[in-house]
Structures are given as structure tokens and as C-alpha cells.
Amino acid sequence: MTKAKLVFDPFSMDFFNGAYETYRRMRDEAPVYYSDEHDFYALTRHEDVAPAFKDFDTYSSAYGIDLATIRNGMPTESGPRMIIFMDPPSHRNMRSLLNKVFTPRAIQAQTENVVDKIEKYLSRLDPDGFDAVQEFTAPFPVEVITTMLGVPEESAQQVRHWIDDSLHREVGQVETGEQAMKANIDQAMFYLDLVAKRRAEPRDDLFTKLVQAELERENGEMDRLDDLEIAAFASLLGGAGAETVTKLVGNAVYMFAKHQDQWQMMREDRSMISGAVEELLRYEAPSQYNVRRNMRDVHLHGTTIPEGSPVFLIAGSANRDERAWTDADKFDITRDRAQAQNLGLGYGIHSCLGAALARLESSIALDRLLDFMPRFEVDFDKCTRVQMQNVAGWKNVPVKVLR
């Protein structure tokens, strides 16, 4: 029997449904995969993906980190400057500014904010039937971030709908669609208005801190962020910080319904929660891939990736690479985390700025869910997945708490 042609299409149902079988074949049969349909390359083995994330000289972020933007071929620095689209030295300067704002102490100080938002949405759930994503894991993380930023509470869910629209993709749709474009513009206008308000009237929030912070520019001069830079960063935080936590905790509900024994273990020993968060990041990375533009010809596994190509670094595959992990496809919250570098929160200079907040939110959410639903069941037939650019996970997970 001849094998089906190996096709990895990040804008297909195969990807939206979790392309783990495709990734396995890519690792085995085409460790440097080339898509003739979309003209990109992809790395899937842990030993290739991890060093590529670190090698910013070869794999640049400055042309965008999604296929459509990189294909435009324009350095993103000509537009609003977002840290995730920067290479050093700009990246280093921006990161050191943000590190002053995202200190471990500042994140720890968000605990009350996180608990408030989690309890607010948990208290509204009907134990006899609720949708874990729509009613819980989607609304709370965006409210954590927007509260931190200083966005009025009544606008938080609007921000989430803008982000959802911005990331949504139909099958076969590579480019940003009209609705996504409109959402991006509406969101930018909304944030620009808030920045102006904070300039006029400072408050104790992240927007005000960003307005006041100083950074060193490439020419060595000290400067403040301009309105567009702050608005762009605020949109990034929503996309990078809210969608991902939503997916991680949504995946948790689904996975623990399949592994009730591990749920019970964790219920009895809450110190296992941190291992569970890491395993969820590994097993189904909410951010499946980030794309880079390679800045020189790369020779790898007998293939040459020509300079200027979009290269997918697929953390979602590297985290399941059987060459790096024992029983890579087994979900096990007690697994030895020292086996390999978990790439779920990125790696290298762009590794997640909000990692501490992501872990805090996910841990508290799991802890409270353990109390709220000691035993539960999921209607697996009614679970549906999102269709998004780079983010993977569930859109609907119907749950019933068992008494």
C-alpha cells in the first residue's frame, strides 16, 4: 500500500484538529518540510526547533511571525513596533523596558486580580451543564490582562471578541480577512484613546507605567514609547496573553476528563498542579508554532532552506518528539520535566514575557476547578475546536459536574 502524500497545511482542518500524526510523519520523513502549496519550510524535531528559536541571527522575527506577513517581505519595523516582531538590538532595549514592568513582584501582585476574575466566572456556572471554554476559560484571562492594563471592565469582553476575530481563519485562508482587519483597527483606535486618557490623567495601571517608562533607542538615546507603540503592545498582550491561557485551561478540562485518575491525584495533592501546567504546555502547546524569516541559506538534513524563506518552528511538534521525550504522546502530569526543554512558552530571546502570569493564572484556575468539580464528565461528541492562526485548542467543552 502506498502512503498518502505528506501534507502539512496550517490553514486546514488537519491543523485545527491537532496535527500530531502529521507532525510525526514530518519528523520521520521530512525533518525539513517544504510546502509547495504555500511555499514555506517547517522544522518539527526538537533538536532542530529549539536551537532555531535561539538563533535570531539566522531566524529573524523582524519580518513578522506569521506566514502572510513574512510573505509580504517588508520588515515590520516600518509599522508599529511590537516587541515580538523585533530582532536585537531593538528587541533587547524593549525587553529591558518591559522587564522593569513585568517583574516577578508585579506579577505576584496580580494574584488578587487573578483570583477575583476566576471566582467571578466560576460562581456563574451551572454545575448541571456549562461550557467550560465559553463560560469560563475564555472570559477570565482577558479580564486579568485588561484590568492590569487599566481598561474599563465593561470593555474587556469586547477586547476578546476583537482578538478572536483577528486570529480566526477559514480553511485555506492565509491572509488576514476583512473582519480581522476591522477588528485590528477598532482595537488600535480603542487603545490609542486610552493611552491619550492616561497621558492626561495618570493612574496606577500598566498603561500609565508604559507612558512613563523610558527606553534606550538604537542610537543610544533615551526615549519614551509613543502612543502607537503602547497601543500595539496592548494589542499584543491581549493576543499573546488571553487566547493562550484560554486554550491551556480549556485543554486541561478536556484532558482531565480523559484522565480522571490524574485529576483525583491532583485533587489530593495540590502540589502536583505546577507539573500539570507544564505537561499541558507540552502536550498541546496553545501556541503551536511561530514563523521566522531565515536570513541566510541553511543546510539541514540534506536540504537547503534558501535565504528569505518563511520557516515554521513547530513547538507543538517538538514537544511531542519521541527523540526528546519518553512516551511523548502520553499525557502524564508526573513526567520528568528535566528530559528536554519544554517549548510551550517559547525559547530564547522571545520566550514568553508573561510566563509567570500564565503559570499563575493556570494554576489558580486548576486549583479552583478541582474544588468546583471534584468529579465531572465532558460531552466529547459536542466538543469543537477553534480555527485560528497558530493558536490551537477547544472552542466548546460541555461539562457536567457529577455529584
Binding site for ligand HEM (CB under 6 A): 61, 65, 83-84, 95, 145, 236-237, 240-241, 244-245, 248, 286-287, 290, 344-346, 350, 352-354, 357-358
Q: What string of DSSP letters covers 95-142?
A: HHHHHHHS-HHHHHTTHHHHHHHHHHHHTT--TTSEEHIIIIITHHHH
Q: Which is nearer to ligand HEM, 107 or 328 (CB)?
A: 107
- For residues 119 and 369, what is the distance between their CA atoms, to the nearest angstrom? 10
| Of residues 18 and 379, the one with the C-beta less far from ligand HEM | 18
Cα 398 to Cα 395: distance, rounded to the nearest angstrom: 10
Residue (240 or 298) nearer to ligand HEM, CB: 240
Question: How does 215-230 read in b/e, with b if 16+ C-beta sit within 10 Å?
Answer: beeeeeeeeebebebb
Q: C-alpha cell of 225?
A: 514609547
Nearer to ligand HEM, 250 or 398 (CB): 250
Please, which residue, 239 or 398, has the CB nearer to ligand HEM?
Answer: 239
Residue 280 CB, shortest distance to ligand HEM, in Å, is 8
Residue 276 is placed in which grid cell?
A: 500539570
Give least dist CB 94 to ligand HEM, A: 8
* Cβ closest to ligand HEM, residue 42 vs residue 245: 245
Return the number of the residue (184 or 264) whose C-beta is nearest ligand HEM. 184
Q: How far is the CB of 182 from ligand HEM (least distance, A)?
A: 24
Cβ of residue 239: shortest distance to ligand HEM, in angstroms?
9
Neighbouring C-alpha atoms within 13 Å toward the C-beta of 288:
26
**CB of 1: closest distance to ligand HEM in angstroms?**
38
Question: Which residues, including other chains, have CB under 8 Å from residue 314's CB and lie 6 or more apart?
Answer: 23, 26, 42, 43, 44, 49, 288, 289
Q: Which residue is nearest to ligand HEM (CB)?
A: 354
Closest separation between CB of residue 359 and ligand HEM, Å?
A: 8
CA distances from 118 to 112, 151, 241 (A): 10, 18, 15
Angle subtended by helix axes 139-149 and 156-167, to nearest 10:
110
On the CB side of 329, how many CA atoms lie within 13 Å of its CA? 6
Q: State in angstroms the smallest separation of the CB of 346 from ligand HEM.
A: 3
